């Protein structure tokens, strides 16, 4: 019987079973869920190695899960495809790609050539994430004909992976709602306007000097000629160079969240996280919700760079966080079996003797993001009227991307000469607030009151967030309306004399799960504390004795669960009421979810081996090869590429280009000395036959059918 790794119950996401789709892997009959990608189907069946590299036979698996690399290549019905992008069809024959692909039978008969269609539109938006959708909605409200293209099979970008509630402004960006719900709201806005057309499964390949954009729409190559181009392509994850960094089981947070929150696949049993920004912290919380043990998290800086409330959620649920630590190596033969970490000195170098090894099967790399802005820079170089929004412009939170998309939509309309006012100054002010980094942290000072009922705020860092003020029906929770980065304060009585009635709305709506409610009205010695809980309901019951922790994860003691309830205004946050001694009641911030022994290191660590880390994943170029050239005086990345092949692989240098720059900095070479790598014209690799207008027959092929949704198709006569 085949073991399944599917998530059949989740505290936030619906988990209705999908219709089964039969396919085969290496001749073995397996079952996928309807609409699943090949990668998701393989993971669901416990398969993480998709092939072996032709150069050294190293195992290959998923890496970005976003179509930006070629690590997950497999053979589907004889054709090499990216497993993360192609969905399983009934009867599909999938084989590992061991070595270089060979031409399939019948390849001597080329596809039928055709005519390349050209489409002219006033506005082309590349990217259907928060920024692109927000811009399209703004243009749609103005009645401006717009074509939105996205390479996925549904709109929303990374929003469709975000099960947590968003920070920011309730009025400006739906703060307090979950990312998955905001994606639906934005899509509904876009689809409500007939002037906006949407092409899904459509990849923007290149921007050309004649002002046209090449788009691969399913299997059809189309040239789109926009009057104005808006690039909202988001960001790609940075990576790290360390021994074992290409083992199956080492991948980015985006790939992990795609498998867990989009595909409902449990891709790990024991997860270790590298990076303490918001991306890594949130991914750790999502892992816990999916029933995955989070062994630990390392961050090289003295403090995590993400929001403190995200870190606090993890530590008070039992996840160890090690600051001033880094990964030394991922250990394993064919896939990850453990990870070795160490403390770092002031130069971020591992300190000998501090190494520890933790058993895990997955290492999640979350060390920052780079803007995906190549198409925008190319368009500007060719003199096109081009704009950029969201992470492609500046890395920030998704709430900031939503608002920057709205601003970009207004700017695009003005560039077209549409009669619309300039971007209001208050919009730009709000955009600046939403893009701001975490601010000052103040010491937590629990209230000293021992009567009545009142909320306790466990958020002590200045971040843009105000859902709690909207949640309080009596206006007792207040934040400076001119700067929502201020921490909230509680007023015991409003102007009409109303007091807190203990409705618990603030507890249910706080994005950081950072508000509890303490009620002394029934028992002044053992008050009731209401705690937010976003895990499966069957994991906690009335009468249970639970371990309660403070904001920083320190154990306060045991408390009895009095009852469980779901607030009528929020159907996916369970409110747990516990009875606790008054001495600890106001300090309680959460309930332990994961036991301490899950994060214990092994008795002996795996020693660091010779530095054989891979810098270029596509061509298996080791960091030592590049370092040797740098020490010999190489400063031109194009020369390094020509000698080693780094940056010459399928991904076009998207990952290793940044890593080479980092290696040069480590060798003391300043950016002013470096000649940057010349990027290939094509943003994503594609079959050359597409540029001849060739049409592939679907029967027996591995291509995906084009999907067209939204209003009408882009004009071809404009």
Q: For residue 558, what pLDDT is reported?
A: 96
Given pLDDT bands bounded at 50, 70 and 90, which one contains residue 662?
confident
Given pLDDT bands bounded at 50, 70 and 90, which one contains residue 299?
very high
216-262 per-position pLDDT tens digit: 998 899 999 999 999 999 999 999 999 999 999 999 999 999 999 99
The pLDDT of residue 147 is above 90: yes
pLDDT exceeding 70 applies to what percent of the chain? Answer: 94
636-656 per-position pLDDT tens digit: 999 999 999 999 988 888 889
Q: Token digits for 602?
A: 């092994």
For every residue of 322-381, DSSP letters joined together read: EETEEEEEEE-SSS--EEEEEEB-TTS-B-TT--EEEE-SEEEE---EEE--HHHHHHHH
Given pLDDT bands bounded at 50, 70 and 90, which one contains residue 263?
very high
The pLDDT of residue 699 is above 50: no
Q: Which fold has domain 1-105?
A: Ubiquitin-like (UB roll) (3.10.20)
Model-wide pTM > 0.85: yes
Q: For residue 682, what pLDDT is reported?
A: 79
Q: Kindly provide the b/e burial profile for residues 486-512, where b requires at least 16 CB atoms within 10 angstroms of the residue's own CB.
A: bbbebeeeeeeeeebebbbbbbbbbbb
CATH number of the 243-367 domain: 3.50.50.60
Q: For residue 437, what pLDDT is reported?
A: 93
| Cβ atoms 373, 387 nearer than 8 A | no
Q: Token digits for 92?
A: 């599909």
Could you say which architecture CATH assigns to the domain 117-235+371-435?
Answer: 3-Layer(bba) Sandwich (3.50)
The pLDDT of residue 715 is above 80: no
CA distances from 14 to 7, 11, 27, 265, 281 (A): 10, 8, 32, 13, 23
Q: Kindly provide the b/e burial profile for residues 74-107, where b requires at least 16 CB atoms within 10 angstroms of the residue's own CB.
A: bbbbbbbbbbbbbbbbeebebbbbeeebeeeeee
Q: Identify the sign of the CA torsion 537, 538, 543, 549.
A: negative
For the residues 292-296, what does the mean pLDDT come to?
97
Q: Token digits for 253?
A: 């947070």
Of 305-319, 364-378, 672-686, the poorest mean pLDDT is in: 672-686
**Other CB atoms closer than 10 Å to residue 20's CB: what's the count?**
11
* Domain map (residue ranges) of the chain: 1-105, 117-235+371-435, 243-367, 453-459+498-599
For the residues 184-205, what does the mean pLDDT come to?
96
The 8-class DSSP code of residue 540 comes to -
Q: Which residues pair with 74 in a beta bridge?
A: 81, 96
How far apart are alpha carbons 609 and 533 in whole angstroms? 43
Q: Check if 1-105 and 243-367 are the same fold.
A: no
């Amino acid at each position: 019987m085949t073991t399944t790794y599917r998530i059949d119950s989740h505290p936030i996401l619906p988990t209705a079973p999908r219709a089964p789709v039969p396919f085969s892997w290496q001749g073995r009959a397996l079952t996928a869920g309807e609409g699943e990608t090949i990668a998701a189907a393989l993971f669901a069946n416990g398969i993480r190695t998709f092939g072996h590299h032709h150069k050294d036979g190293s195992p290959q698996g998923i890496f970005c899960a976003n179509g930006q690399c070629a690590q997950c290549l497999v053979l589907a019905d004889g054709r090499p495809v990216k497993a993360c992008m192609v969905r399983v069809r009934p009867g599909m024959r999938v084989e590992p790609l061991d070595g270089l692909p060979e031409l399939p039978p019948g390849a001597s008969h080329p596809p039928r050539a055709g005519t390349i269609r050209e489409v002219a539109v006033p506005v082309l938006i590349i990217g259907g994430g928060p920024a692109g959708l927000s811009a399209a909605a703004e243009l749609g409200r103005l009645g401006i004909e717009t074509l939105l293209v996205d390479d996925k099979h549904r709109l929303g970008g990374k929003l469709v992976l975000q099960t947590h509630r968003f920070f920011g402004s309730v009025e400006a960006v739906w703060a307090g709602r979950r990312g998955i719900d905001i994606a639906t709201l934005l899509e509904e806005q876009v689809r409500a306007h007939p002037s906006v057309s949407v092409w899904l499964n459509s990849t923007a390949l290149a921007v050309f000097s004649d002002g046209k954009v090449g788009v691969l729409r399913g299997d059809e190559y189309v040239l789109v000629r926009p009057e104005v181009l808006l690039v909202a392509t988001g960001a790609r994850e940075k990576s790290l160079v360390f021994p074992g960094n290409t083992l199956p089981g080492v991948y980015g947070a985006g790939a992990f969240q795609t498998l867990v929150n989009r595909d409902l696949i449990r891709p790990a049993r024991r997860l270790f996280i590298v990076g303490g920004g918001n991306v890594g912290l949130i991914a750790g919380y999502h892992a816990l919700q999916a029933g995955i043990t989070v062994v630990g998290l390392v961050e090289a800086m003295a403090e995590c760079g993400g929001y403190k409330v995200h870190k606090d959620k993890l530590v008070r649920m039992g996840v160890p966080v090690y600051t001033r630590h880094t990964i030394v190596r991922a250990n394993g033969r064919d896939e990850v079996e453990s990870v070795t970490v160490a403390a770092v000195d002031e130069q971020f170098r591992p300190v000998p003797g501090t190494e520890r090894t933790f058993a895990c099967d997955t290492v999640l790399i979350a060390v920052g993001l780079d803007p995906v802005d190549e198409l925008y820079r190319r368009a500007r170089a060719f003199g096109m009227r081009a704009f950029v929004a969201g992470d492609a412009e500046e890395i920030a939170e998704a709430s900031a991307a939503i608002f920057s998309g709205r601003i970009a939509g207004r700017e695009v309309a003005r560039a077209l000469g549409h009669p619309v006012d300039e971007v209001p100054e208050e919009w730009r002010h709000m955009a600046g607030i939403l893009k701001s980094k975490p601010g000052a942290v103040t010491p937590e000072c629990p209230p000293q009151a021992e009567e009545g009922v009142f909320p306790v705020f466990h958020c002590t860092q200045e971040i843009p967030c105000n859902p709690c003020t909207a949640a309080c029906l009596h206006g007792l929770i207040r934040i400076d309306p001119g700067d929502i980065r201020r921490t909230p304060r509680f007023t015991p009585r409003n102007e009409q004399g109303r007091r807190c009635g203990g409705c618990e709305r603030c507890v249910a709506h706080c994005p950081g799960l950072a508000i509890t409610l303490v009620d002394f009205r029934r028992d002044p010695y053992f008050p009731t504390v209401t705690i937010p809980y976003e895990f499966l309901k069957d994991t906690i019951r009335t009468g249970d004795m639970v371990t309660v922790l403070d904001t920083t994860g320190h154990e306060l003691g045991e408390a009895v669960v009095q009852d469980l309830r779901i607030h009528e205004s929020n159907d996916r946050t369970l409110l747990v009421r516990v009875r606790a001694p008054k001495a600890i009641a106001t300090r309680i911030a959460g309930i332990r979810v994961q036991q301490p022994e899950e994060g214990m290191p092994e008795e002996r660590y795996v020693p660091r081996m010779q530095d054989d880390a891979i810098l270029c994943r596509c061509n298996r170029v080791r960091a030592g090869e590049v370092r040797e050239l740098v020490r010999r005086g190489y400063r031109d990345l194009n020369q390094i590429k020509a000698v080693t092949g780094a940056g010459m692989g399928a991904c076009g240098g998207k990952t290793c280009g940044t890593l080479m720059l980092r290696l040069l900095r480590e060798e003391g070479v300043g950016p002013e000395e470096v000649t940057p790598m010349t990027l290939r014209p094509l943003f994503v690799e594609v079959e050359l036959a597409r540029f001849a207008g060739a049409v592939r027959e679907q029967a027996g092929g591995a291509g995906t059918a084009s999907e067209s949704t939204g209003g009408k198709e882009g004009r071809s006569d404009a």
